[in-house]
Structure 1
Amino acid sequence: MVARVILEVALGRELDYLVPSELEGQIKPGTRVEVPLGRRKAFGLVTEVAKDSPSPNLKPILRVVATPSLVTPTVLRLARWIAEYYCCPPEVAFRSVLPGAVRHPDADWRRRLYVRLTPPQGPLPRLSPRQKEILHVVEERRALPLTELQQLTGANVATIRRLEDKGLVEIVPQIEERDPWAREQILPTTPLTLNEAQSQAVRAIVEALDRLTPRPAAVSDPSPDARPGAPASPGVFLLHGVTGSGKTEVYLQAIAAALERGRGAIVLVPEISLTPQTVERFKARFCTGPLRTLVAVLHSHLSAGERHDEWHKIRQGRARIVIGARSAIFAPVQNPGLIIVDEEHEPTYKQEEAPRYHARDLAVVRGRLEPAVVVLGSATPSLESYHNARQGKYTLLTLPERVDARKMPRVRVVDMRAALRSNRGVTMFSPQLREAILQRLERGEQVILFLNRRGYATALQCPKCGFVAQCPNCSVAFTYHRAGQRLLCHICGESRTVPAACPNPRCGDPAIRYAGMGTQRVEEALLRLFPTARVQRMDSDILQRKEEYRRILGEFRAGKIDILVGTQMIAKGLHFPNVTLVGIVHADLTLHQPDFRAAERTFQLLTQVAGRAGRGDIEGEVIVQSFTPYHPAIQYARRHDFEGFYEQEIEFRSQLRYPPFTRVALLTVRGRNEEKVRFVASHLRRELETHLAGWDDLIMSGPAPAPLERAQSYYRHHLMLRTRRMLQLARELARWLHQVRLPEDVRLTVDVDPVNLL
């Protein structure tokens, strides 16, 4: 018996090992093993078990690291597909499906000593008053940690051991799960009454669940949009619902239907910050009743121990629902029947390091491999997903109205050019926004202000000579952070003290000042304009501890905060009925970036932020401050007109053959020597043209300097490939990469389906 093993070292291939007879019952696909590699040992994952091998003189597996197998067969197939489609080494793809907290050889459950009550054998022995006091506490609790008993009674271990000697208690090690939600009090909820559109969506999903039959998914090309014109996967739905339309209730009732049919569910959310509110709603629905199950949480803010325990709850089948960020798509859910991707348009679903997978697309692929029903939900779907629905590849479900017939918020666009002229200088808040905030404060209503830029000011600039403080490692200006009086680069993290005068040796003007604004500056201005208002800022500078997000949102929900200022982490997924005003301080930040998705992202962000207003009984208002107020992305967002925006934007994409009409592979050449990077990039272009000669639908652009030409002290040049046949192109690129020889100080990366072109 032979096991094919992918090692955690960079070999680029699998190796065969003999399975010793004493391990035959333990070795399965997905089992972690330790094997010999030359003169050392290495850990790996069994990917396949076979009767024999073409390789001679096989070495035996040394030991099994963990049983049962930690990775399901379907996820193993998914990892193999990732390696092929995203053009990355197989060991990188396989390592990504198993968290380090689970993969580590010393990973284990936490065990603590517990004191348990034992029934006395015979008459109760004589006890001292101290012993009676300790025994009384144990009788009340039946079992409790030894350390807690010591704290409650002040007793030492020797005194408690004497009770054990008398047969009244026992002290035993016990597994204690590290549950990040253990201290939360969850109140059960019941299903809400659905409107007609919600009911139709749930019915369609349940009908698809009933059509599921386990089958070997022999899919050679299961990419979500691999073959234009290919027939639909019948179990992929795009749930397009306006903000506040009740998409979450559709998810909850669809999951209940999956649980009734003995199937599990995976729910992906784009931001870790969205996880607490989502988890609370799901735990509240499934913490009691006949469908009761544990809800596991997977994201990077968990401690290693918490991540280990959550993963094993899933693998053991105790948690049948998983909620998490993009890596949760690999969760070992038993018999999954439903995969939900909430806010499917969000770029955070794309992994920026190898393997550079997109979790939304992996959800579709895994759904076909399991098989499972896939629901992609959004108020502002990505153009790729909506195009797939219009082409019949996905089934479109729509929720056109808010629940309880609530009105969409009224949106006003303020021309900041006029505000600038009337104020004779730069202004942060237009008169319209200031007056609207004042009205809400007087009425006891709440306000959200959005600015997708943290820090105090975007640059430190000298008004005399024009000097701008630039990061020495990146092609960006330093951002000024008032806390600690620091200049900080948001790309590489470089930090400098604020100079007292212009650093230009030919200038030295002490009047150097800050330009632009960030959330810190907005917070300061609000406190100055509205001194009695309770203002709270929420951005990544504030949320250094994982508990801070839940604390701030809890206080906002309880009405202890009047104005919440934040970045995109407050732009989506949050439901606060008392928020009646949303102000977008600077709507143009993402609009003029050198990226074909700039208009789409602006439309999505404005629509999502606007959707936080008017979710209660009072109609909401949104004020959008813009220097380009008549741009189509802003005007369509003002009218809540996704269809209109889509029709215009898809025409632009069609003419220029951008996605969804092609797929993109972005090749990045980087190194510390600018001339060498430019030369290597040009050389690679010529080699690619030779290697791909005859490719009929390939568009090759570049090489050219990346929009962010220098990052973390590396110069970067881009080469973009566009084709309708990405899986085939990925295979060709993989073959070509094996032949490429690069200078030692130059690196080449391949990003298939990139979402960030900077």
Structure 2
Amino acid sequence: MVTLIQVALDTPLDRLFDYRLPDDVGAVQPGSLVEVPFGRTLQVGVALGSPTDRAVEDAKLRDVIRVLDDRPALSADILRLAQFCADYYHYPLGAILLATLPPRLRNATPFVAETPWLVLTEPGQGAEPGARARAQRALLDALRNAPQSRADLRAQKQGRHAATLVAAGWAAWSRIAPAATDTPPTADAPPATAEQQAALDSLLPALGQFGVQLIHGATGSGKTELYLRLIDAVLATNKQALVLIPEIALTPQLEQHFRRRFPGRRFATLHSGLAEKERAENWLAAPDCDVLLGTRLSVFAPLPRLGLIVVDEEHDASFKQQDGLRYSARDVAIARGKQANVPVVLGSATPSLESYAQALSGRYRLIELKQRAISQAQLPDIELVDLKHIPLDNGLTRPAVQALSETLARGEQSLVFLNRRGYAPALYCPSCAWVSPCPRCSARLVFHRATPHSTRSHRLKCHHCGFETRIPPECPSCGNPDLKALGQGTQRLEETLTALLPAARIRRIDRDTMRPRAWAELGEAVHGGEIDILVGTQMLAKGHDFPNMTLALILDTDGALYSPDFRATERLFAQLMQVAGRAGRADKPGRVLIQTAFPDHPLFRYLQRHDYSAYARELLAERKQLELPPFTRQVLLRAEATTMDAALAFLHRAAALAPDTADVSVFGAIPAPMARVANLERAQLLIQSASRQALQAFVRDWRPQLDSIKPRVARWSLDVDPLAF
């Protein structure tokens, strides 16, 4: 009898493929990786079981070449989660399944992970080596106290004795150090505030079953402390906790905090900043860890004892993938929590309107923390500097410079926020008004100055496609050699502040200066008083706790106040609240200065009162009246082609093939706001409905029609619940 299996492959084809399983290959379980022929190549796929219908004649069936793992690489719960994503985001299942694995684990070359810890086995607990085996006895005694690292054993020349214990079954090599059983799990837990205790009294009974809890807490109100106490309760039941964070930069600080709080517990981290080998090893170690901390890709990590999911800064747009599978890690986390019947905790000082609306409707439980956790700490005073009456000098007003100088004189620290990296947003010719364009995008090239010790020259760079070139010696349009830097970025701001405050120790923080492993060093420098002023982009706005930072200066954010993007003011309020929250987190009062030409905008009125709830309700009322999310659901059909005509033609054809559904609106095809990126013209088509079910059914019926459009001169993709337009 011929044994058939279905295999999911990483292809754009939204289907599974049937293969014959030869007897000499052996049995295969769902979730196992297999190597199969596909076209003229060999590919790695995921086995999913036997097909229900025979789609291919026996003569055309091809054989599985080999099974690549001893046990399934993907567990049943991850297979279910991937199927949810395939159904909801209308994306090929095979592409999702392979993307959940680290790159080193999704190819045919076996990956051998290091096992750096020697741990005691159960038989080894009572083992008694012979009287002459003093070294083995000493090593067993050491293992009874704590796991021993391979590096230490090698340095102590105990490798031979370790091998003897392993051969006897008294010890084993492990990828991750087990928890120390004699260490208190909450070594330095501070006393809970009254607000925190009330929140815990509500949250703790919800552990053990699915439900979504939204913690809306002011910056510095102790949301992290609630996470830690919930994790402590989960660990006490031998369950695992998954903590999702929006930025790689937050990982070192949070991991250090968690390790101090739970000494001896087993931790793993997952994010794209890890080296491929380390990422693969951490993924393989995840089933044995107690707490997994990571960015959005961690939502697919193998956690067989999952007991709690925490999504910190749940409002952050970084949780939404912007290419490939355009998933929201927050929403997938909720789906995973529902499938596993475990609670999901969302936390933010400025919840997304989607989550806040769910909480107001009663679908999520709303927990509010209105006071800062440190009794002496108060929310900072927020002052507006009116640019209509106070002039700018190199991007700064006199009150701003004076505030920085006074803060420096008190020995306190300041943060200057400008969400624009580089030296200047563009290079400009004052003679003919030429502005440095990107030859591949409908964007300007950003001027980046070479650092003093750099061997590279000044550059023009595109922040969209990565194109870069040298600074031209003269204007390409009129030949004028006197080109000017237009506007300012963090590089120029750093230069200005250095000239104004020569005694200040200034550090610039943006994607040009920071790498994932540099954040721990930065935290030590700030806490050690080695930095007076931090200049940076949004990387500085999230989650960092600097007790001696008392001033936050915010520059050039007015562009978002009147943006055509309906989410712009929601994002701006969240960003300003996050930046303001860095000031005055300990016993010293904080102060925030915002330079703006529109001080009468309603956003600032709510911001000065630190009243997110009232502003959110006002925005929700506007959204409801305008029939915008979260009161409607949206899907964006994107198309890319070498010409705009081809992209729009594809979308017009797609609209003509759309099902005629009364509950779903299909809007006209238009060029994307950023119409050209990397030499491809981009256009989009919006589909909207007040009913999620109606919209999903519409796209499900429409998807085969999109696949049928010929000739294929445009690349297309579907973005469910889009955040970027």
Regarding TM over 0.5, the answer is: yes
**Per-residue deviation at 1:648?**
1.6
Q: Which residue of 2 aligns with 1:755?
A: 723
CA contact (8 A) 2:633 2:695 kept: no
- Residue 221 (structure 1) aligns with: none
Q: Which of 463, 469, 477 is matched with 2:436 structurally?
A: 469
Q: Which residue of 1 aligns with 2:266?
A: 294
Asked whether the 8 Å contact 2:646–2:713 carries over to 1, the reply is: no
The answer (yes or no) to whether the contact 2:474–2:481 under 8 Å persists in 1 is: yes
Aligned to 2:68: 65
Q: 1:492 aligns with which of 465, 469, 489?
A: 465
Q: How many residues align?
A: 679
How many angstroms apart in 2 are the aligned matches of 1:409 and 1:679?
Answer: 53
Does the aligned pair in 2 maintain the 1:602–1:634 contact within 8 Å? no
The aligned residue for residue 358 of structure 1 is 328
What CA distance in whole angstroms lies between the structure 1 residues aligned with 2:439 and 2:50? 52
1:147: Cα distance to partner?
Answer: 12
Match of 1:433 among 393, 400, 405: 400
Residue 593 of structure 1 aligns to a residue whose secondary structure is coil
Partner of 1:46: 47
1:273 offset after TM fit, Å?
0.6
Segment drifting more, 726-735 vs 596-605: 726-735
Alignment of 1:311-330 (within 5 A): 311-315=283-287, 318-330=288-300
Aligned counterparts of 2:319 and 2:19: Cα–Cα separation in 1: 36
* Matching residue of 2:301: 331
SS in 2 for 1:448: strand
Deviations 1:52-72 (A, max 9, x none): 978664666443312332322
Contact 1:409 1:619 in 2 (8 A): yes
Structure 2 unaligned segments of length 5 or more: list them.
119-128, 135-146, 178-184, 451-456
Residue 104 of structure 1 corresponds to which residue in structure 2?
A: 107
In the alignment, does 2:10 pair up with 1:8? Answer: yes
For the pair 1:91 / 2:91, whether they are aligned, the reply is: no
CA 388–113 in structure 1, closer or farther in 2 if over 3 Å, else same? closer
SS in 2 for 1:525: helix
Report 1:4-403 matches (<5 A): 4-17=6-19, 27-37=28-38, 41-48=42-49, 57=58, 61-105=64-108, 106-110=110-114, 189-210=187-208, 212=209, 235-288=211-264, 293-315=265-287, 318-403=288-373
Mean Cα deviation higher: 427-436 or 293-302: 427-436
1:452 shift after superposition? 0.6
In structure 1, stretches of 5+ residues that fail to align are 125-140, 154-159, 180-186, 213-233
Residue number among 530, 540, 545 corresponding to 1:570 in the alignment: 540
Q: Could you tell me whether the CA contact under 8 Å between 1:2 and 1:52 is conserved in 2?
A: no
Alignment pair present for 1:482 and 2:449:
yes
Report the equivalent of 2:506: 535
Are 1:703 and 1:719, in contact at CA under 8 Å, matched by a contact in 2? yes
Bigger mean CA deviation after superposition, 647-656 or 438-447: 647-656
Q: Residue 145 of structure 1: CA displacement?
A: 5.3
The aligned amino acid for 1:494 is F
Structure 1 residues 351 and 110 mapped into 2: Cα distance closer, same or farther (>3 Å)?
same
Match for residue 223 of structure 1?
none
- Cα distance in 1, alignment partners of residues 508 and 424 from structure 2: 15
Query: Does structure 2 conserve the Cα–Cα contact (< 8 Å) formed by 1:85 and 1:731?
Result: no
SS state of the match for residue 534, structure 2? strand
**In structure 2, how many angstroms separate the alpha carbons of the residues matched to 1:5 and 1:205?**
42
User: What letter matches 1:471 in structure 2?
Assistant: C
Structure 1's 671 and 59: CA in aligned 2 closer, same or farther, altered over 3 A?
closer
Where 1:411 maps in the other structure, the secondary structure is strand
Question: Residues 53, 701 of structure 1: CA spacing in aligned structure 2 closer, same or farther, 3 A cutoff?
Answer: closer
Q: 1:108 corresponds to which letter in structure 2? A: V
Verify the 8 A CA contact 2:9 2:95 in the aligned structure 1.
no
CA distance in 2, matches of 1:699, 1:95: 34
Q: Is the 8 A contact 2:412 2:549 kept in 1?
A: yes
**Distance in 2 separating the partners of 1:744 and 1:54:** 25
Of 495, 498, 521 in structure 1, the residue corresponding to residue 492 of structure 2 is: 521
Matches within 5 A, 1:581-600: 581-600=551-570
Per the TM alignment, residue 679 of structure 1 is displaced from its structure 2 partner at its CA by 3.1
Asked if the contact 2:240–2:290 (Cα under 8 Å) also holds between the matched residues in 1, the reply is yes
Q: Structure 1 9/673 Cα, relative in aligned 2: closer, same or farther at 3 Å?
A: closer
TM-score, structure 1 as length reference: 0.83
C-alpha distance after superposition, 1:451-496 (max 9, x if no partner) = 1100000111111221111101111111100113111111111112
Take 1:310 and 1:568, find their aligned partners in 2: how far apart are those partners?
28
Aligned to 1:225: none
Describe the SS at the equivalent of 1:418: coil
In 2, Cα distance between equivalents of 1:144 and 1:671: 54
Q: Secondary structure at the match of 1:619?
A: coil
Quote the offset at 1:23 in angstroms: 7.1
TM-superposed CA distance for 1:307, in Å, is: 1.1
CA distance in structure 2 between the partners assigned to 1:145 and 1:250 by the alignment: 36
User: In the alignment, is the contact (CA less than 8 A) between 2:634 and 2:686 conserved in 1?
Assistant: yes
Helix, strand or coil for the counterpart of 1:66?
Answer: coil
Query: In structure 2, do the counterparts of structure 1 residues 568 and 40 end up closer, same or farther at CA, with 3 Å as the change threshold?
Result: closer
Q: Which amino acid aligns with 1:193?
A: P
Moved more, 237-246 or 12-21: 12-21
- Describe the shift of the 1:514–1:142 C-alpha distance in structure 2 as closer, same or farther (beyond 3 A): closer
Shift of 1:15: 3.2
For 2:541 and 2:37, how far apart are their aligned partners in 1?
Answer: 51
2:564 match: secondary structure: coil
Query: Which letter maps to 2:413?
Result: Q
Q: Is the 8 A contact 2:199 2:367 kept in 1?
A: yes
CA distance in 2, matches of 1:15, 1:500: 57
**Whole-angstrom distance in 1 between the partners of 2:132 and 2:611:** 80
Residue 520 of structure 1 aligns with an amino acid whose one-letter code is: Q
- Supply the AA of the counterpart residue of 2:485: Y
CA separation of 1:60 and 1:511: change in aligned 2, threshold 3 A: closer
Residues 644 and 671 of structure 2 are in contact (CA less than 8 Å); yes or no, is this contact kept in structure 1? no
CA drift of 1:89 comes to 1.4
Structure 1 residue 699: Cα displacement: 2.6
SS at match of 2:235: helix
8 Å Cα contact 2:374/2:586 also seen in 1? no
Q: Distance in 2 between matches of 1:583 and 1:613?
A: 10
Secondary structure, counterpart of 1:13 in structure 2: coil
Secondary structure of 1:270's aligned partner: coil
How far, CA to CA, are the matches of 1:625 and 1:459 in structure 2? 22
Q: How do 1:388-467 and structure 2 match up within 5 A? A: 388-405=358-375, 406-420=377-391, 427-467=394-434
Q: Which moved more, 1:671-680 or 1:329-338?
A: 671-680
Judged with a 3 Å threshold, the aligned counterparts in structure 2 of structure 1 residues 311 and 722 are, in CA distance, closer, same or farther, namely: same
* Whole-angstrom distance in 1 between the partners of 2:46 and 2:52: 18
Contact 1:102 1:311 in 2 (8 A): no
Letter in 1 for 2:71: P
The structural deviation recorded for 1:333 is 0.8
| Secondary structure of 1:375 counterpart | strand
Task: Name the CA distance, whole Å, in 2 between partners of 1:602 and 1:749.
Answer: 28
Q: Rate the CA distance shift 1:678–1:407 in 2: closer, same or farther, 3 A.
A: same
Aligned to 2:611: 641
CA distance in structure 2 between the aligned counterparts of 1:75 and 1:145, rounded to whole angstroms: 34
Change (3 A) 1:322 1:501: same
Q: For the residues of structure 2 that align with 1:361 and 1:44, how far apart are their CA atoms?
A: 26
Per the TM alignment, residue 236 of structure 1 is displaced from its structure 2 partner at its CA by 0.6
Q: Taking structure 1 as reference, are residues 20 and 727 closer, same or farther at Cα in structure 2, changes over 3 Å only? A: farther
* In structure 1, C-alpha distance between the alignment counterparts of 2:516 and 2:231, rounded to whole Å: 28
TM-fit CA distance, 1:146 = 11
